[in-house]
Chain A
């Protein structure tokens, strides 16, 4: 590697000392063309790094919500044993599976974006582009949020509202903030799909947007798995 770099250096020197690059006689612009001296180094994408840092702060936000939940649970265990029996675990499990599957469809969309393919070349899923996969992901995420709204409505008719007691407050706070995050992710998917439609040629810039939105989506998915395990399984 080292010797090849030196080789490049001498090459660029020769280019400057060697025969002058001819212009058409009237142009006076510089004839020095920049020569890459060093091999291209694969650096981490700054947008991806920034997104990960932001997701780090999001982890801390949800850690605070978990802390609220666990503190209240430690203070009043009898409230927990009474209220958690009203949760529909089967319903929540199906909803969880829908959200987890949306993470997989999202990742297939990222694979398509990484090969810079925005649209499908055929009906088979292996030929789908990023847009098709992200529309499917959007649909699955929308089903999840709608399912959650339905669950809230059912709970409220059963007398479990936001301000009923400490448990219901913690329940709606944690799952509600998560649902808001999923909704935000849905809008992000629409904006990414819009960018794919806005350009004539899908480039690395659009792929970067798709990849960082997928980071966010996977994060939201993992947070839900933790919430599901704590609220519905562990109780």
Chain B
């Protein structure tokens, strides 16, 4: 993480230098004698954005409270397998909800009575999806 941060700081410094060089070069060039704004601003923004990423990585590194397993030479492969939280392995509810929303829009387009059916099905499917892991076997 520290290496990554340093790489971004070095790139930021490089592009800051390039910006100044580019501006001075186009000023001293006998064909231009003005600052070429498009390239100067683009290079300057590159420097700013690399500073952003370097600063962000530094904050993340400080906030995570420890070194990443990939930065530790004695770490095992499964150390880099963090707890990600709960994600459903599969579910029928999203596609059922999509069909219900399609019915709603079909109803708005061709005949409004279909929209009532769509809204009812949306209510059922959205509650079904949100509470899929809160009912029956998964109730806790």
Binding site for B on A (CB under 8 A): 1-2, 5-6, 9, 37-47, 187, 191, 194-195, 198-201, 204-205, 208
Contact = CB atoms under 8 A, between A and B. Distances in A.
A38 B130 contact: no
B32 interface: no
A217 to B, nearest CB: 17
B135 to A, nearest CB: 8
23 contacts: A5-B67, A5-B74, A37-B69, A37-B79, A38-B72, A38-B79, A39-B65, A40-B65, A41-B64, A41-B65, A41-B67, A42-B63, A42-B64, A42-B65, A44-B60, A45-B85, A46-B84, A191-B130, A198-B131, A198-B139, A200-B140, A201-B140, A205-B85
Main secondary structure of the interface of B (DSSP, over half): loop
Contacts of A2: 67, 72
A135 B76 CA distance: 47
Contact of A41 (B68, B131, B140): B68
In the A-B complex, the 5 residue pairs with the closest CB atoms: A39-B66, A38-B79, A198-B134, A42-B64, A191-B130
B89 interface: no
Contact of A38 (B69, B134, B135): B69
Q: How large is the interface on B (under 10, 10 to 19, 20 to 34, 35 or more residues)?
A: 20 to 34
B131 A6 contact: no
Contacts of B65: 39-42
Nearest to A39: B66
A38 B82 CA distance: 11
Given A45-B85, A199-B140, A205-B86, A5 B72 contact: yes
